[in-house]
A and B are shown apart, each in its own frame.
Chain A
Amino acid sequence: MNTKTTPSTVHTPTFTDGDEFRIPTFQLLQQDGTLYKGAKAPSLKKDTALRIYRAMIFTRVLDERMLAAQRQGRLSFYMQCIGEEAAAIGSAAALDEDDMIMAQYREQGALAYRGFTADEFMNQLFGNVMDYGKGRQMPVHYGSAKLHYMTISSPLATQIPQATGYAYGQKLAGDGKCTIVYFGEGAASEGDFHAALNMAAVHRAPVIFLCRNNGYAISTPSVEQFAADGVAPRAYGYKMDVIRVDGNDILAVYEATRLARKIAVTDNRPVLIEAMTYRLAAHSSSDDPSGYRSKDEEAVWREKDPILRMRHWLEGRNWWSEDEEKEIQERLRREVLETMKRAEKRPPPPLESLVTDVYDEVPPELNRQLENLKTHIRRYPDAYPKTAEQARGGE
Chain B
Amino acid sequence: MPRMNMLQAINNALDIAMAANDRVLCFGEDVGVFGGVFRATSNLQQKYGKDRCFNTPLVEQGIIGFANGLAAQGSVPVAEIQFADYIFPAFDQIVNESAKFRYRSGNLFDVGGLTIRAPYGGGIAGGLYHSQSPEAYFAHTPGLKIVVPRNPHQAKGLLLGAIHDPNPTLFFEPKRLYRASVGEVPEEDYRLPLGQAEVLKEGADITLLGWGAQMEVIGQAVETAEKEGISCEVIDLRTILPWDADTVVESVLKTGRLLVSHEAPLTGGFASEIAATIQERCFLYLESPIARVTGMDTPFPLALEKEHLPNHLKVFDAIRASVEF
Contact = CB atoms under 8 A, between A and B. Distances in A.
A233 B75 CA distance: 32
B106 A357 contact: yes
A347 interface: no
B56, B75, B103, B243: residue with the most chain A Cβ atoms closer than 10 Å: B103
Interface of B: 23, 25, 51-52, 54, 56-57, 59, 61-62, 64-75, 77, 89, 92-93, 96-97, 100, 102-110, 112, 142-143, 145, 166-167, 195, 242-243, 245-246
Contact of B105 (A132, A167, A168, A170): A132
A162 B65 contact: yes
Contacts of B69: 102, 161-169, 179
B69, B70, B72, B245: residue with the most chain A Cβ atoms closer than 10 Å: B69
A232 interface: no
A136 interface: yes
A155 B195 CA distance: 29
A195 B109 contact: no
Given A158-B93, A168-B70, A192-B61, A359 B106 contact: no
A170 B73 contact: yes
B66 A168 contact: yes
A340 to B, nearest CB: 21
A198 B65 contact: no
Interface in A354-387: 356-360, 363-366
A292 B190 CA distance: 61
Given A165-B66, A166-B70, A358-B103, A155 B143 contact: no
A153 B97 contact: yes
B73 A169 contact: yes
Interface residues of A, number: 49
B66 A161 contact: yes
Contacts of B66: 161-162, 164-165, 168, 195-196, 199, 203
A162 B68 contact: yes
Interface of A: 100, 102, 131-134, 136-137, 141, 143-145, 150-151, 153, 155, 158, 160-170, 172-173, 179, 191-192, 194-196, 198-199, 202-203, 356-360, 363-366
Given A165-B67, A165-B69, A203 B54 contact: yes
A160 B64 CA distance: 12
Return the 6 tightest CB-CB contacts between A and B, nearest first. A161-B65, A165-B69, A195-B62, A162-B69, A169-B73, A151-B105
Given A161-B61, A199-B56, A141 B109 contact: no
B242 A198 contact: no
Nearest to A164: B66
A162 B111 CA distance: 11
B61 A136 contact: no
Given A162-B66, A168-B66, A358-B142, A131 B61 contact: no
Contacts of A194: 59, 62
Nearest to A356: B107
A166 B72 CA distance: 7
B44 to A, nearest CB: 15
B175 to A, nearest CB: 25
Contacts of B104: 133, 136-137, 141, 151, 153
Contacts of A179: 69
A365 B97 contact: no
Contact of A365 (B71, B106, B242): B242
B89 A136 contact: no
A152 to B, nearest CB: 9
Nearest to A165: B69
B248 to A, nearest CB: 12
B100 A198 contact: no
Nearest to A349: B106
Nearest to B93: A158
Contact of A165 (B65, B107, B166): B65
B106 A202 contact: no
